[in-house]
Amino acid sequence: MDIPVPPSSDSRDPRILVPQIAQSFRQLPISLIANLANGFILAAVLWGAVPTPVLLSWSGLLVTVTGARFLSLRTFRNASPGSEPDLAVWTKYFVAGACAAGLVWGLSGILLFHPSSFPHQVVLAFVLGGMVAGAVPLLSSVRHAYGCFAIPVVVPIAIQMMWVGDRIHLVMGLLMVIFGLTMLATSAQVHRLFRDAEKLRRELFSSSEVAQALEYLVRLDSLTGIPNRRLFEEELGKEWARAKRDNVPLALITADIDHFKEYNDHYGHPAGDLCLVDVAQTLYRALSRPGDVAARIGGEEFAILLPQTDLNGAIAVAEQIRERVLALDLPHEASPVASQVTLSFGVSSSELASVASPAELIRTSDIALYEAKRCGRNQIVAARKTVSVLVAEAKGTGSKISNGASEGKTIRPWPL
């Protein structure tokens, strides 16, 4: 697939300029070291061939400019971490430093040019050419910085060579001009490559974020906004493995809105959808721990996964949810259970001897839920060992817990 080349305006995009400036200042120490090293080498080679005051003055100017650029680097590094730098200011500082360095090295082509020593001239041209070539990767990330450095370096030495007038110097001057133009073109290409690479990196990062967001969305129930069955099953598998590895309990609550079909028939499906949303959000807000999961796993059926929770703890959570749903006071005139929306709950735990897999945890919780419905709904039934149940039946504002019978109802033992 061809990658489209971004328009030139992209180079002014702050999202691209920020890493460009950061990259430039990150590489600035290399440039400063190269400037000083080459300056000292050049001064050592020309010592005695160029008047000492001129050589010392030029060397002092080089050290001064390099020091000023070092101070700008320290200021940049001490800027507030995490905040985007003022692009205009830092770009001006960096380009100004590159221009100042270019002018200093350009002056060497005038002040340090030996009029009669061809070897010294060659050394000077070689050092300046090396500076121009070496600056390509160091300065090209910021627009105009390389040109502001290279042009003042190349032009004076090229003019000096041509000014001598003989054939060799004319050729050398022309070669310096060609070399300078080639380096400018190379720098422009490097700048475009950096810009395109940064834009591509941002696009890939954005695509990754979008993919993660979409991956997350397909695990959410589109109506209620809470996790769906897919996410629930994934979390169940992970939490089951963790529970077995750490030898801790894992509890599961399945809940069902009582007589929801009658609710839809009486109030209409739009009202039924709003009821589902209210109940789902109530379940979701009732969970306080990060690892707890409340999911919609069917039409009006929900599941609550509680890591590191035993059966009694899960019963307490179920009772809390039951009371919160009652507190919503959603009218349900078509329900034979109550005049408001109620829930039935089935609770199971990995502690049970009959629960040896995630599927068994779901199965036993479903059986407990069906038993809660059979016993009159609006209550909690929890699996106990292998053949008994625990019933919490709502009466007014309280609940009654028993094994066997409650309020004249007989609860038969049932196998898991």
Catalytic center residues = 300
Under 8 Å between Cβ of 88 and 120: no
Which amino acid, 123? V
Residue with tokens 């090293």: 37
Q: Phi and psi of 302, rounded to 5°?
A: -130, 160
Report angle CA 56, 57, 62 to the nearest 5 degrees: 95
What number of residues does the chain have? 416
Tokens linked to 344: 């039935």
Q: Phi and psi of 378, rounded to 5°?
A: 50, 45
Measured between alpha carbons, how far is residue 117 from residues 120, 163, 209, 221, 404 in Å? 5, 15, 63, 83, 114
Under 8 Å between Cβ of 41 and 108: no
The set of residues, in sequence order, having a beta carbon less than 8 Å from that of 147 and lying 6+ positions away, is 184, 187
Which amino acid, 228? N
> Whole-angstrom Cα distance, residue 131 to residue 118?
20
Which amino acid, 348? S
